[in-house]
A and B are shown apart, each in its own frame.
Chain A
Amino acid sequence: MSYQEKKHTVSLFSAILVFGIYFGIVYSRYEGANLEGAELLRFWGAAMLILIPVTIVARMIIEMIFIIVNKISTKESPPSYTDELDKIIELKALRVNFFVFILGFFLAMGALVLQMTITSMFVILLFSGFVSEAAGILWRLYLYRKGV
């Protein structure tokens, strides 16, 4: 397995881990709070905003741990640059990422149209963010393995 494949496998697991833990905490708080109206909107808005820095920091820490562990076990240093293959794969994966997220966004708006709760809309939006991220990583792994 190449360095990039290992890196993206770790990214996938860290995305699942971070989102799983964060969503678990947020949902348990939501269950306990019994919010309505503007408070409910504020709660989900804050949950979505906080998710971004939390994800960035947590995944950076996990990636640093991976780099250190990988360096110790295989004596392999991470590439200091991204070359043309990396860039092509990155662009193709981003396209998948955006497509899946837009699909999720439409689903979330559809939930509002179908008069589902605000919570359902935010949960769908959060999940579409996670699923799109996972789909992008899986597509990167596929392209590194099968070629462009």
Chain B
Amino acid sequence: MVPCRISNNIRNLRFNQNEMTQQQLADLVGVTRQTIVAIEKGKYSPSLELAFRIARVFRLQVEEVFTYEEVRN
């Protein structure tokens, strides 16, 4: 299996959305702030459902928020 990495631009999107805080985004999508922190840092890949909820907050498609990359050595 090829190792993969899911990156995201949530931090930038939050900044462009009137500097939305992590807590505000967490409340909107129904998770804890800790989870948003983990997603932003790339420590956790969210479930498909959560990814859609996050994308919906920013009125974007999922692939505009999350990017799937194959890591090649």
Chain B residues with CB under 8 A of A85: 31-32, 34-35, 38, 44
Residues of the A chain whose Cβ atoms lie less than 8 Å from the Cβ of B35: 83-86
Q: Are A144 and B34 closer than 8 Å at their CB atoms? A: yes
**B contact face: mostly helix, strand, loop, or mixed:** loop
Of the residues A4, A79, A84, A147, contact of B41 by C-beta under 8 Å:
A147
Whether A99 sits at the interface, judged by CB under 8 Å, is no
Instruction: Say yes or no: A4 contacts B31, CB within 8 Å.
Output: no
Asked if residues A84 and B43 are in contact (CB atoms below 8 Å), the reply is: no
CB-CB under 8 A for A2 and B37, given A83-B30, A83-B31, A85-B32: yes
Please classify how large the interface on chain A is, using the bins under 10, 10 to 19, 20 to 34, 35 or more: 10 to 19
Cβ-defined contact, B44 with A147, below 8 A:
yes
Whether A84 contacts B50 by the Cβ 8 Å rule is yes
Indicate whether A147 sits within 8 Å of B37 (C-beta atoms), given known contacts A84-B31, A85-B31, A86-B32: no
B35-56 at interface with A (beta carbon < 8 Å) = 35, 37-38, 41-44, 46-47, 50
Contact between chains at B34 and A4 (CB < 8 Å): yes
Flag if A148 contacts B44 (CB, 8 Å).
yes
What distance in Å separates the Cβ of A70 from its nearest Cβ neighbour in chain B?
14
Q: Is B47 a contact of A84 with CB atoms below 8 Å? A: yes
Q: A85-B44, A147-B43 are in contact. List 16 more A-B contacts (CB 8 A).
A: A2-B34, A3-B34, A79-B32, A83-B35, A84-B47, A84-B50, A85-B31, A85-B34, A86-B32, A86-B35, A144-B34, A147-B38, A147-B44, A148-B38, A148-B43, A148-B44
Provide a sorted-by-A list of 23 A–B residue pairs whose CB atoms are within 8 angstroms. A2-B33, A2-B34, A3-B32, A3-B34, A4-B32, A79-B32, A81-B30, A81-B32, A83-B32, A84-B31, A84-B35, A84-B46, A84-B47, A84-B50, A85-B32, A85-B34, A85-B44, A86-B32, A146-B43, A147-B38, A147-B41, A147-B43, A148-B44
Residues of B within 8 A of A (CB): 30-35, 37-38, 41-44, 46-47, 50
